[in-house]
Structure 1
Amino acid sequence: MNTVTKSASSAASAVIDVRLIPPSQRHGLIFKEFESLAVGAWIELHSDHEPQPLKQQFQAQWPGQFDWETLEAGPQQWRLRIARRPAAKSCCGCCSGAN
């Protein structure tokens, strides 16, 4: 069974229906798909619950490098779009981050 549907569109990478994936494999698959995204591309995620823990993991692992858009907010189904942003340029620390 294919749980990730690839899109022909250059902007979209995949639609992932996590309801079809064993819970222990869900976040790993989503992270792998996100890491393979080009800047500006996105994943559409379908779930039977609000994926708040997943969002917290994204905030910890990729701060400022993704957009999280809720397309449908339950109560039976949640649909999200997670888009890849360019990585923020890091400062050398010489000026406390000021320009």
Structure 2
Amino acid sequence: MGEMEERLLAAVEKLAEKVEKVGLIQEKLEVMDKKLEKQGERLDQVQAKVDLSLESLGQVLQEQIHVMQAVKRTVPATLVIPTRTMEATSSVTREQPQGYP
């Protein structure tokens, strides 16, 4: 009977160790769960800000399109920019002072 009790006691001790390890794992999982909840809340906040930003950018884009269309209706189609050539400059800038080579 003594041998049976020793084996039973050893099995109960192993079981107690396993239960203790399961308890530690449970605690770690609870900590991880809390962290995950906080990260989820932060992600929700970031998502809301991103949604607002995208909505604002869409509104800005629409405003730019309206402005561009209004400008196209009011500005002439071709815009001529004069270029400055040597012939167009005054003779004063092309001539060197007398007495200098």
Write 1 or 2 for the structure with the bigger share of strand: 1
Write 1 or 2 for the structure with the bigger share of helix: 2
Is the shorter-chain TM-score for this pair beyond 0.5, marking a shared fold?
Answer: no
Larger Rg: 2
Measured against the shorter chain, the TM-score band is: under 0.3
TM-score by length of 1: 0.18
